[in-house]
């Protein structure tokens, strides 16, 4: 069953359309934002607030595409280069 709701961008608080559903492997997907990306953390050593040590607990957040593009200079990962080519196009669309 698919449930439509909203989740705010953790940076700018813009509400994003969100879809909750059961994936093909049977796990529940709680965060699948439109016009944004979803990030999951199972915690890790180094955090002073969340390190559940293998309990399966997790945190899910959404960040809107606009905030990703506005902060692209501090984004890391192998997909970053493909976003660099979109930066000018995205800026043009946002200014209209």
Residue ranges in contact with Zn ion by CB under 5 A = 9, 11-12, 64, 67
Closest to Zn ion by CB, 11 or 29: 11
Shortest approach of Zn ion to residue 1 CB, angstroms? 28
Q: Can you give the three-state secondary structure of 36-65, one letter per residue?
A: EEEEEECCCECECCCCCCCCCCCEEEEEEH
Q: Which is nearer to Zn ion, 11 or 19 (CB)?
A: 11
Indicate the residue among 26 and 77 with the shorter CB distance to Zn ion: 77
The smaller minimum CB distance to Zn ion, of residues 7 and 9, is found at 9
CB closest to Zn ion, residue no: 9
**Residue 17 CB, nearest approach to Zn ion (Å):** 13
List the Cα angle 47/49/51 in 5-degree steps.
60
Q: Smallest gap, in angstroms, from Cβ of residue 38 to Zn ion?
A: 13
DSSP tag of 14: -
CA distance 63 to 16: 9
Phi, psi for 88 (deg, rounded to 5): -65, -40
């Amino acid at each position: 069953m698919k449930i439509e709701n909203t989740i705010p961008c953790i940076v700018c608080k813009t509400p994003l359309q969100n879809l909750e559903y059961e994936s093909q492997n049977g796990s529940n997907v709680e965060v699948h934002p439109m016009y944004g990306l979803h990030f999951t953390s199972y915690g890790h050593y180094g955090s002073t607030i969340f390190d559940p040590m293998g309990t399966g607990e997790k945190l899910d957040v959404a960040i809107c595409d606009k905030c990703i593009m506005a902060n692209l200079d501090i984004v890391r990962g192998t997909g970053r280069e493909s976003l660099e080519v979109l930066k000018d196009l995205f800026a043009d669309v946002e200014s209209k």
